[in-house]
Structure 1
Amino acid sequence: MDLLTVALASLLAGFIDAVVGGGGLVLVPALFSVYPQTAPATLFGTNKGASIWGTAWATLQYAKRVQLNWSALLPAAALAMVGGFGGAWLVTQIDPGFLRRALPVILLAVLIYTLVRKDMGRHHAPRHQGWRETAVAGAIALLIGFYDGFFGPGTGSFFVFLFVRLLGYDFLHASATAKLMNTATNAAALMLFGSTGHIWWQVALVMAVANVIGSLFGTRMALARGAGFVRSMFVLVVSALILKTAWDAFFR
């Protein structure tokens, strides 16, 4: 029953991650609820061991239907991995707890900005070309990759928002690009957790299958319904993130 519960949570998380990111809102609390006596690092590692497959699958599906500038985005993905390693190392040196109270405020600002700018992300109109796009995408990837390794909540939402706001992508292209970046940062975290034995591979394997199935449905829905649907999901997920992070920061 425990395995069935986390598998269903992983399926839903895969769907959410494939559309806009934020599947950790579902899967991480489910793992902590089902396995309350387990070391947090093991649960985080098991989460990464499952979610990376759904994210990678979504990246491949988006790549078949959405035109991405690989010459700019592959170097950015490499920087996201570097940032993820750096953040994961820093979290072993200092406590990231000071970010807990700041995060819901930052997410609220992102949500308000998105709601006020009603046309933002509805049309794909890249602002930069050539090395400029590579540089901006790389800076975003390094920064958010570092944040993902150091703290984590809202990583997918931050990737999507910054790709829309700074690069001029629509929400569909931004979500597709975010999947590539998340796959890189998840791979960095997976290597770190795996090298220290903090992954239940037998649980992660079952969750991974469910995550890929959820990812398949989420990707197909996003591609079929377009940027407007992804924008609506973005608003919904960020709203949920604000409530969750505010509760964790101020009321627990």
Structure 2
Amino acid sequence: MFFDLTIICTLGFFAAMVDAIAGGGGLISLPALLMVGIPPHLALGTNKFSASLASLNSSITFARSGKVHFPLVKWQIPFTLFGAALGAWSVLRVSSDFLNKAVLVLILVVGIYTFVHKNLGMENRFKGLNPFNTIIGCLFAFALGFYDGFFGPGTGSFLIFSFIALFGFDFVIASANSKVLNFTSNIASLFLFAWNGKVLYSYGVPMAVFMILGSYVGTRLAIHRGAALVKPLFIIMSLLVAAKLILQYI
């Protein structure tokens, strides 16, 4: 068990560090749990437990640095939570095959669009809130919360991109805002997994400790290095999520 814990804690640290900067950490942490022989349903629940604590730590660190735009996020949180709960409820009743294919196309578009537009998200162009963009932001929060509860891959990328495309935030503020909403949506899924006994705490707790450390390192790097670090890593993680979905589809 010591060897298994060494693997999941080490990979969990790097997963949380990457996730705090640009999202996509699940591409590292979930395979780590599966690698040591944990059954898929327990791996999903255990990963959600550890990742939720890591995203909470990132949210707090970003908030303390002043990077979270609370006047907008405070309206989005309840929509995200309701959407995630509805998504988690729906996944038990609806096939995710179509969504799998649709997300593949969308995540590729996001990654390529961000790569082509060199100045996208490199500086903060946010011009303030108004009733229209607040409503649109809440609708996106609900939709992405639902998606995270229902399916999941690429949620962080979609959240970051929506904050940049809709509001003109730079990558650092967009990443900070997305962490708060991502943590919110994680809570609904985590509750479902924990309620059904799908969290392996003997692995989840030590992994969570290392993921919290990784999230702290990643958040500090994002804050101090800025968009110049976040943007290229965001593109890489978006394309890796797309590659993962392609392999699943094949």
Identify the TM-score tier after normalising by the shorter chain: over 0.9
- In the alignment, the residues of structure 2 paired with residue 213 and residue 236 of structure 1 have an alpha-carbon distance, to the nearest angstrom, of 22
Please name the residue that 1:238 is paired with.
238
**Local SS of the residue matching 1:119:** coil
CA 1:131–1:67 in structure 2 vs 1: closer, same or farther (change >3 Å)? farther
The normalised TM-score by structure 2 is 0.94
SS of 1:92's partner is coil
Letter in 1 for 2:41: A
Q: Counterparts of 1:192 and 1:74 in 2: how far apart (Å)?
A: 24
| Larger displacement relative to structure 2 (132-141 or 142-151) | 132-141
Give the Cα separation in 2 of the matches to 1:247 and 1:67.
36
Superposition pairs for residues 169-180 of structure 1, below 5 Å?
Answer: 169-180=169-180
- The Cα of 1:103 is off from its aligned counterpart by 2.5
Q: Deviations over 1:65-118 (max 9, x none)?
A: 234331321221121111111111111001212222332222111112112211
1:43 matched to 2:46: no
Residue 181 of structure 1: CA displacement? 0.5
Tell me if structure 2 keeps the 8 A contact 1:57–1:212: yes
- Residue equivalent to 1:74: 74
Residue correspondence of structure 1 range 104-143 to structure 2 within 5 A: 104-143=104-143
Name the CA distance, whole Å, in 2 between partners of 1:67 and 1:223: 8
* 8 Å contact kept, 1:7–1:206: yes
Corresponding letter in the other structure for 1:30: A
Q: How far is the alpha carbon of 1:229 from its aligned partner?
A: 1.1
Deviation at 1:128?
A: 4.4
Report the counterpart of residue 90 of structure 1 in structure 2: 90
Q: How many residues of Structure 1 are paired with residues of Structure 2 in the alignment?
A: 248
Unpaired runs of 5+ residues, structure 1, are none
Distance in 2 of aligned mates of 1:23 and 1:215:
10
User: Residue 4 of structure 1 corresponds to which residue in structure 2?
Assistant: 6
**Aligned: 1:13 with 2:15:** yes
State the Cα deviation string for residues 17-67 of structure 1 (Å, max 9, x = none).
Answer: 11011100001112122125x2x3321111111011111111111112234
* Separation in 2, partners of 1:175, 1:68: 9
Residue matched to 1:228: 228
Amino acid corresponding to residue 100 of structure 2 in structure 1: R
Q: Post-superposition, which runs of at least 4 consecutive aligned residues in structure 1 deviate over 6 A?
A: none
Q: Over the residues paired in the alignment, what is the CA RMSD in angstroms?
A: 1.4
**In 2, Cα distance between the equivalents of 1:115 and 1:178?**
20
Identity of aligned residues (%): 34
Aligned mates of 1:136, 1:62 — CA distance in 2: 24
3-state SS in 1 of match to 2:226: helix
CA distance in 1, matches of 2:47, 2:93: 22
In 2, the alpha carbon distance for the partners of 1:127 and 1:83 equals 27
SS in structure 2 at match of 1:2 = helix
Give 1:137's aligned amino acid: G
In 2, Cα distance between equivalents of 1:133 and 1:56: 26
Does the residue aligned with 1:247 lie in a helix, a strand or coil? helix
Mark the runs of 5 or more structure 2 residues left unpaired by the alignment: none
Which stretch of the first structure deviates more once superposed, 237-246 or 167-176? Answer: 237-246
Offset at residue 130 of structure 1 (A): 4.0
Equivalents in 2 of 1:185, 1:82: separation in Å? 8
- Most deviating of 124-133 and 108-117: 124-133
Matches of 1:173 and 1:245 in 2, distance apart?
A: 27
User: TM-score, normalising length from structure 1?
Assistant: 0.94
Asked if the contact 1:121/1:169 (under 8 Å) is kept, the reply is yes
